[in-house]
Structure 1
Amino acid sequence: MNRDQSPFSDVTVSHSSNAASAHQSRTLKTMVISTVRQHHINISQMTTRLVVVGLFADFSVALIKFAAAYLSSSSSMMSEGVHSLIDVSTGLILLYGIANSRRPPTLEHQLGYGRELYFWNFAVAILIFSLGAGVAFVDGIHQMLHPVQLSNVAINFAILAISAVVEVASLTYTIRSIDRKRGHQSFHRYLYVRRDPTSLTVVFGGEASILGLAITAIGTALSITQNNPIYDGAASIAISVILAIAAVKLAAESKSLLIGVPADPAVAAAIMADVASSPAVLAVNGATTVHLAPEQLLVALSVWFREDMRSGEIEEAITAIEDRFHRERPEIIMLFVTPQTPKRYRQQQTYAMPTVTKPQLETGVH
């Protein structure tokens, strides 16, 4: 491939003065070949659509919930209105994060901006916990300490029914969109493998909204049948607990992704097997992978090439690997390949993935 046409901006080879030797073992000690793709990979359009659909649904529902809360003096309905308003805010924040994460790498941020997606998801989790759960809890306590009888209850139930239809429709759209992409993987397994906290936030938000509506309906019904508005306050507190649990789970996932998580083991094993199938490769000693975004991977490989290969031939072999990955695995935006013997690799690793060799590929044993 012509260097100017390569999707990777640099193929850098550094080696000591004796690297011209024909014996590979003398060059492997000091040679590292890296390939870096400088254009960015788009965040899935599906993820953006899910956020936009959820945003419009939440905005519509927030308006009618606040109207119902004002007419009925229901604290649980007010909590639901705040919940939907928080969902609107989180949707806007997520869209901002998606837009920023698509920016190409710069000199100051050479790995790109993919992790902005993880940061803003973490910010969303904090917002849900502090405002969503906090306001709902305070409203519930206030209603229990200073009960106010509910009024216009029929409006409340009508609004709850309309909100439920909108939320169920939005969540159904989200689930069906993900189902079309996940193949044979389970729903939650697919979200985990993609390392996509945004889709997870949309799903959790939809589930929490529907559960919150059900609790509000129960609290309202009990308040009327028992003639005691304390049940309405208790429903508001229950909603705050649901929001807090969802926020903590989302924050934990986003924190893990911000620190850096590897590709799914099956994905890493497939990458190693692809490289090991090259005629120039004796074995792939191991792989280090890090998600920079749901569809952006950094991959570092330790590869044992044939002993009779010179440095120029090794570079050509790595270029062939690079070209194949560009065609078949566009999610790999940064690739490092270190020619290395298995012994040297084991000496440098505190942990290691099992080496993938030719016999293992032939027998199917990894």
Structure 2
Amino acid sequence: MSAHGSPTVIYAALAGNLAIAVTKFAAALWTGSSAMLSEGVHSLVDTVNQGLLLLGLKRAARPADARHPFGHGIEIYFWAFVVAMLIFALGGAVSIYEGVHKLTDPEPMTDAWMAFATLAVSIVIEALSFRVAYRELRSSYPDISAWKAIRRSKDPSVFAVLCEDAAALAGLGIALVCVALAYAFDAPAFDAAGSIGIGIVLVLVAIFLSRETLSLITGEAASPETREEVRRILLDDPRVAAAPELLTMHLGPREILLAASIDIRDELGAAEVEQTARDLGARIEAAHPEITRVFLRPIPRDGVALTPG
């Protein structure tokens, strides 16, 4: 597994969304369905999004250099934020606009069977893509709920794709219901309402993803559990009297920077202090391989500590 994300999940979603987009646009042109057109736009945006996430993974994998001594892992979060903006602007806003337009200028739907067949095929393909992303998420967080796992995950190649697929399945369900109502009652307004409903779902998903990725871009800390375990490792060493300052920051999905101030017992000499720092760094990295950078700063017993993080 890449330290910067999970390309398998993205490739599965890319292949599925590309096939679905072509099918939906063909069905929208055939039937004149507004909801189907919105779904086609949705799948096209998702396809572009997967391409951007793959670009983000490639750029995040670049090695560290003089200008970026901690590597480029954070860049994947930037591209995930761009994805959220595209979902909002090109997915949600366009779908809502199309629905409102069709409400003011309704057009009858033709050959509804084509729309139903397309939606059925799309649901199957989207469910398979969702399954790949869901299994990847659960493999990392098997003991907590799916919602908590999404919030806990720092890998946008998993949680962004999973949210996109969930939104797609919700949109397909809305489209299926609204197309059926439009056909049953010969009322194009239901089809237009479906387009607006799909747009609202996409806007909500975009807001959620933008909040999650913005937090990571701006230096989100490791999980409380990870921080507490690191603090316990430090304090379990008899040579350490206190660990008043512990700061962490995600440098990528599976890369964490740790900086800690430790109060080493006064009776230890300089060589013993250095050995203590080496031992603690090795223990932390062994217990948490995702912590790839460890900086430990010994402080005097009366040193002034900063706010623990």
Contact 2:242 2:263 in 1 (8 A): yes
Corresponding residue number in structure 1 for 2:3: 42
Name the structure 2 match of 1:303. Answer: 262
C-alpha distance in structure 1 between counterparts of 2:84 and 2:178, whole Å: 26
- For the residue of structure 2 that corresponds to 1:337, the secondary structure is strand
Equivalent residue number for residue 331 of structure 1: 290
Q: How big is the shift at 1:343? A: 4.3
Within 2, Cα distance between the matches of 1:329 and 1:229? 56
Q: Please say if residues 193 and 263 of structure 1, whose CA atoms lie closer than 8 Å, have aligned partners that are also in contact.
A: no
What is the match of residue 159 of structure 1?
A: 118
Question: How well do the aligned residues superpose, as a CA RMSD in angstroms?
Answer: 1.6
**2:308 match:** 352
Code of the aligned partner of 1:174:
A
Superimposed CA distance per residue, residues 110-158 of structure 1 (whole angstroms, 9 cap, x where no aligned partner): 1211110110010001111111112212211221111111011111101
Whether the 8 Å contact between 2:88 and 2:202 is mirrored in structure 1 is yes
Q: Tell me the TM-score normalized by structure 1.
A: 0.80
| Structure 1 unaligned blocks of 5 or more | 1-40, 354-366
Aligned partners of 1:173, 1:190: CA distance in 2, in Å? 15
Asked whether the 8 Å contact 2:153–2:159 carries over to 1, the reply is: no
Summarize the Cα distance change of 1:200–1:136 in structure 2 as closer, same or farther, 3 Å threshold. Answer: same
- Whether 1:108 and 2:108 are equivalent positions in the alignment is no
Report the Cα offset of residue 235 of structure 1: 0.8
Task: Tell me how far apart the structure 1 counterparts of residues 300 and 225 of structure 2 sit (CA, whole Å).
Answer: 24
Instruction: State the secondary structure of the residue aligned to 1:344.
Output: coil
- Confirm or deny: 8 A CA contact 2:233 2:283 kept in the other structure: no
Paired AA for residue 283 in structure 1? A
Mapped pair 1:232 → 2:191: yes
Aligned length: 308
Deviations 1:316-338 (A, max 9, x none): 22122223334332222222111
AA partner of residue 34 (structure 2): S
Pick closer, same or farther for the CA change 1:239–1:342 going to 2, 3 Å. Answer: farther
What do residues 196-218 of structure 1 show as CA deviations (whole Å, max 9, x unaligned)? 23322111111111111111111
State the match for 2:40 in structure 1.
81
Shift of 1:342: 5.8
Give the corresponding residue for 2:56: 97
Question: How far has the Cα of 1:292 moved from its partner?
Answer: 1.2
Residue by residue, what CA displacement relative to the aligned partner does 1:244-275 show, whole Å, maximum 9, x if unpaired?
11101111111111111111111001011112
Change (3 A) 1:218 1:261: same
Find the partner of 2:242 among 252, 271, 283.
283
Secondary structure of 2:225's counterpart equals helix
**What SS does the corresponding residue of 1:345 show, helix, strand or coil?**
coil
User: Which residues in structure 2 correspond to 1:214-229 (within 5 Å)?
Assistant: 214-229=173-188
Say if 1:228 and 1:183 are closer, same or farther in 2 by CA, change over 3 A.
Answer: closer
SS at match of 1:42: coil
Residue 85 of structure 2 contacts residue 206 of structure 2 at CA under 8 Å; is this kept in 1? yes
Residue pairs, 1:224-263, within 5 angstroms: 224-263=183-222
TM-score, scaled relative to structure 2: 0.94
Q: Is the 8 A contact 2:136 2:158 kept in 1?
A: no
Contact 1:302–1:345 (CA under 8 A) maintained in structure 2: no
Determine if contact 1:148/1:229 at 8 Å carries over to the other structure.
yes
Consecutive unaligned residues of structure 2, counting only runs of 5 or more, are none
Q: Tell me if 1:313 matches 2:279.
A: no
